[in-house]
Structure 1
Amino acid sequence: MVNDEKTTGGRKTTADRKTAADRMLGDLRRHRLVAIVRGRDRAASVRTALALADEGIALVEVSLSGADALRVIEEVARAGVRVGAGTVRTADDARRARDAGAGYAVTPSLGAGVDEALRLGLPVLAGALTPTEAASAVASGAAAVKLFPASAHGPGYLKALRDPFPDVPFVPVGGVGEAEAAEYLALGAVAVGVGSPLCGDAPHGGDLDALRRRARAFTAAVRP
């Protein structure tokens, strides 16, 4: 029987969490691209996230390892853009990200960050690399498995993983350029996560026009 208890003290029910995860997976399948913003300059990071959204990239992640990341999330969310928090490693990271306005969490690994984000009702892209980690991420209730660092083994590794895990929604992240993005998607990834190959120096105060050109190139590369 599904646990449909009411939300209490910030905790979401099992049904709430499943609904959030299903919606997130649907968004990943539809948009196929998560843009990762990790900047040394708060204002530039905000401008980067808003420019990406303006170019039609619907899934923007702000890494907590960037400068003043929680304020970046707050400002981007306040502007009406759906934004997620990346590099969520601890329970405190998850709580602060949720409070800042993050609509989903992305983790580099399994652990307390995944557990607390799920408890709070945030859909999660849970970081995993090995088959055991991928299975654990799925069992946790994560919306998708962030295959990280994807560059460690390349597209061929995703192909090998999908043989025993054909139904697992993988999102390769790490060293994904335009060519790799298209290849991962052709091999069955539901989406790809892209940081510096897409954002370049924009989150550090660099060229926004160049960012917009890269955004158009990547959205073309991931188009079905």
Structure 2
Amino acid sequence: MNRTSRRSKSRRNRSLVTRPAGVVAAAIVLIALFSALIGRAYVVPSGSMEPTFHGCAGCDNDRIMAQKLTYYFSAPQPGDVVVFAGPPAWNVGFESRRSTNVVVRGVQNLLAAAGLGASTENILTKRVIATGGQTVSCRAGDPAIMVDGQPLVEDYLLDPPETDADFPGSSRACGGEFFGPVQVPEDSLWVMGDNRTASADSRAHLGDIHQGTVPVDNVRGKVEFIISPPQRMGRVDHAQP
């Protein structure tokens, strides 16, 4: 075999090696663009949204698909089930695990951007109860969560509640301790879990700088589907409370 033939064979061998790697890299970049602009999948981290989403330690948690398109044209509305990045006060104990190796860390971040790896953000999912300018509360004697003085009808809640919510300073109607009134700042959301007695939601962060509310800029998408496990697949109900 002459030198020219050997060089030609070497180039073909390199092509056979690099072509699949290039296809994989291109696919990851396309998925990352889709995730950044259109939507991506998330794993439900806990049982705070039962029965809408299933989640528990060590079990087969629901995997959900959230899309971004709706919020390019309109703001989140009461009843919307959203995924959002927790504000600083919500992130106690959260740790984004990343390698100290620059190359490995870069790959981890790319996979996270594509929705194929753990996010660098503390991603949570809750239901929007009130939006900017509205006042939310639940006090002794209230028949339910109150928004602008009107009781909410919330057929999506876990019933019966997971834990007892009828003790001094609380009620089953409130899903836990009394709170408010809180006027939601503009461009912010008051969010709560459907598993009302087992959800560390806006009520748990009333002492922070946002009064427990979540800036709209933290919202990462509107949840539309449960995509796995197969027996749980289906659309998500965004019933207005």
TM-score class normalised by the smaller sequence? under 0.3
Q: Which has the higher helix share?
A: 1
TM-score (norm. length: structure 2): 0.26
Higher relative contact order, chain-length normalized (CA < 8 Å, sep 6+):
2
- Please say which structure displays the higher CA radius of gyration: 2
